[in-house]
Structure 1
Amino acid sequence: MTLNRFCAAALMAASLTLPTFAAAEVDSPECVAPAQPGGGFDLTCRVAQTGLAAQFGAPMQVTFMPGGIGAVAFNLFNTTRTDDANAIVAFSTGSLLNIATGKYGAFTENDVRFVGTAGADFGAVVVKADSKYTSLEQLMADLAADPSSVVVGAGGSVGSQDWMKAALLVRETGASPMKMRYVAFDGGGDAIAALLGGSIEVYTGDVGEMASHMEAGDMRVLAVMADERLGGAFAEVPTAKEQGFDVEWTIMRGFYMGKDVSDADYQTWVDAFKAAYATPEWEQVQTEKGLLPLNLAGDELKARVDANMATLREIATEAGLIQK
């Protein structure tokens, strides 16, 4: 065998032994869902398990760590698993809200490393099809004149994600969120039933649950709380921002790691997410799991998290959820 042929054969053999993103410590990838099986955190990990399958040399394991709506896992990865290079943990915007309001204890968003996103849903401002409100501008005018004059409801108590969406609307008018008339329900289904039954006038829900109702023609979406107009069934629905109101609510689903994970291993995960985002398989699993595209990794994700946390803390403080 000639020297050139020997070198070529050696290089080929070496390449076959390495995963796409090989790193010394990432040899048993794991996604921790901080809840019981089923639900949003489980879904988030399944996106990573399927979407990152081609990026590592070993299959990803999904494990469950329920407790405190994510608090148990957040505390564990701030104490005993701070340098675990193999594990990512699922989080959502609800997790960020819990951090902001102190429900995860003394640790903050700066005590973990945010890696990548699985996708997103977005807030929606919804009324009945025959509502007197045909535009967001009309609704905002009434909220500005008297926040208590409009009955708003959603599937969450004061301080929840759905309450935050309503609070953002009222806050944008210059009024205090604490002055709005808000009705809490056990879930989105109950809130939708109340809207259709006339018990509430406005529902601050999620885009993902609205498509079937728009097809049925029984609801009208006045605005989506996204940075840009969405596609598909929502292509004709304007954003709140394009109607002149700086209100955005992204229900982000993503992953974090312990703060002591090495830069090299952290970057391995970031690179894996970025590579996966460019594949049709990632787009397919997002669609199958009912998520909309939101593909952020590394510094870009951290910047988005920091911006969200600042807004969450500001609104929560105004509403009395955080004591100065």
Structure 2
Amino acid sequence: MTHISTLARWAAPAGLSMAVLSSPAWAFQPGSTECIAPAGAGGGWDMTCRLVGKALQDQKLIPGTMQVLNKAGGGGGAAYAEVVNKRNSENNLIVAASTATAARLGQNAYPGNDMTQVRWVGAVGADYGMIAVAADSPFNTLPELMAKVKADPTSISFAGGSAVGGWDHLKVLIAAQKAGITNVRTIKYVAFDGGGEAVTQLLAGKIQAFTGDISEAKGFVDAGKIKVLAVLAPERLEGEFAKFPTAREQGLNAVGANWRGFYAPGKMSDEAYAFWVKSIGTVYDSKEWKDIMAKQGMAPLNLRGEAFEKFVKESVGEIQDLSKKIGIVK
């Protein structure tokens, strides 16, 4: 998949990622800071805001606590539109973003909006995707699940925290193609406003499989509620995540990584933008964040400022190409 090669290419030495504006960080002093999570509580965007917000506070990079605002709707579109149309000059605001954001921008799914209307701050790592089922599901491997989908597409509904055509949906389609399912439009996908809500519906028996990122699945696995059939990583992850099999080792060469980072209002001052680029970079460089990444199953992705903006632009373009191939974008 082209996007994954881009991710590998950009997950390079830190020297590539230091392009920031020259304004001194101390020219802007943050006040009451806020992070918008463009989905409900419990999903990846919510986690990104809360983990980074706490790290910013713990490292005394911001005064007091960063407020997290959950703004669900439109696969991130509601939050994007609010920032562009109503909060476009605020200096104390950052917004969680991911491959899902790039996917929706690449599919022109945020009406009237494009990636140039905001400022891209930096990445804080990447999550590998996964496909899971309820703990008591009869399916124990990804090939078993996909064989059922191939035989009877209407019998299996997948759910995720992104809109139809979003990154969670695309991950299922990538795996399905690798399993020999040619007509991917027959696959049933149900969109929810966040991974937490999707898992709730899985446990209620309303849907049969859940797609998301491994970091947001871990808590549900630890609670004994779901089982991960496959991680969409090139090889097994390390640490606590090593127990989860990859799709590749089960014979399906499906790889999908979800970068995580932040954008800011398009008319944020240069001084404020430089502060946020520097501060997010300081969090990323810290031992504390490296420990969080390991605990959450996140892979390195060290991109800031202009380098991050260039990476997002490539992501948007490549996801647009993928979406055209599977008929989501004409």
TM-score when scaled to structure 1?
0.67
1:209 equivalent to 2:206? Answer no
Q: Are residue 239 (structure 1) and residue 246 (structure 2) matched?
A: yes
Contact 2:52 2:283 in 1 (8 A): no
Q: CA deviation at 1:166?
A: 1.4
C-alpha contact 1:50 1:285 (8 A) present in aligned 2: no
Among 33, 56, 64, the residue aligned to 2:61 = 56
Matches within 5 A, 1:47-196: 47-53=51-57, 54=59, 56=61, 58-59=63-64, 61-62=66-67, 64=69, 66=71, 68-69=73-74, 70-79=76-85, 81-118=87-124, 121-126=127-132, 136=142, 148=153, 151=156, 153-155=158-160, 158-172=164-178, 173=180, 175-180=182-187, 187-192=198-203, 194=205
- Aligned CA distance change for structure 1 residues 52 and 229 (closer, same or farther; 3 Å): same
- In 2, Cα distance between equivalents of 1:302 and 1:27: 23
1:100 and 1:235 map into 2 onto residues whose CA distance is 33
Query: Any idea what SS the aligned residue of 1:223 has?
Result: strand
Q: Quote the offset at 1:253 in angstroms.
A: 3.6
1:105–1:128 CA distance, 2 compared to 1 (3 A)? closer
- In structure 2, do the counterparts of structure 1 residues 247 and 307 end up closer, same or farther at CA, with 3 Å as the change threshold? farther
Question: 1: distance between equivalents of 2:158 and 2:100?
Answer: 18
Which runs of 5 or more structure 1 residues have no equivalent in the other structure?
Answer: 1-20
Asked if the contact 2:38/2:96 (under 8 Å) is kept, the reply is no
1:224 aligns to 2:231 (yes or no): yes
Aligned mates of 2:244, 2:294 — CA distance in 1: 20
CA deviations on 1:27-69 (whole Å, 9 max, x unpaired) are 3362331568844445433323221233636446426373645
Q: Distance in 1 between matches of 2:253 and 2:213?
A: 18
Structure 2 partner of 1:270: 277
Q: Which residue does 1:248 correspond to in 2?
A: 255
Shift of 1:256: 0.4
Q: How far apart, in 2, do the equivalents of 1:136 and 1:36 lie?
A: 27
Cα offset, 1:309, TM superposition: 2.5
Cα 1:147–1:105, aligned 2, differ >3 Å: closer, same or farther?
same
How far did residue 246 of structure 1 move? 4.9
Q: Of the two structures, which has the highest relative contact order with CA contacts closer than 8 Å and spacing of 6 or more? A: 2
Name the counterpart of 1:14: none
- State whether residues 130 and 232 of structure 2, in contact with CA within 8 Å, keep that contact through their aligned partners in structure 1: yes
Correspondent of 2:36 among 29, 33, 37: 33
Contact 1:119 1:291 in 2 (8 A): no
For the Cα contact (< 8 Å) 2:230–2:244, is it kept in 1?
A: yes
Alignment pair present for 1:22 and 2:25: yes
Bigger CA radius of gyration: 1
Q: Is the CA contact 2:229–2:245 (under 8 Å) kept in the aligned structure 1?
A: yes
Alpha-carbon RMSD? 4.3
- Give the CA deviation at 1:243: 6.0
Q: For each residue in 1:130-183, what CA deviation from the matched residue of structure 2 results, as whole angstroms up to 9, or x when unmatched? A: 98977656766787x768498353346743544322111123447231133557
Matches within 5 A, 1:244-323: 245-261=252-268, 265-283=272-290, 292=298, 294-298=300-304, 299-322=306-329
Distance 1:211 1:50 in 2: 19
On the 8 A contact 2:139/2:145 being kept in 1, the answer is yes
Distance 1:163 1:115 in 2: 26
Paired with 1:189 and 1:303, the residues of 2 have a C-alpha distance of 37
Q: Give the Cα–Cα distance (whole angstroms) in 2 for the partners of residues 203 and 35 of structure 1.
A: 19
Q: What is the CA deviation profile of residues 70-96 of structure 1, one whole-angstrom value per residue up to 9, with x for unaligned ones?
A: 434423443465454443222344433
- Change over 3 Å in CA distance of 1:181–1:235 after alignment to 2: same
Q: TM-score, normalised by structure 2?
A: 0.66
Change (3 A) 1:83 1:44: same
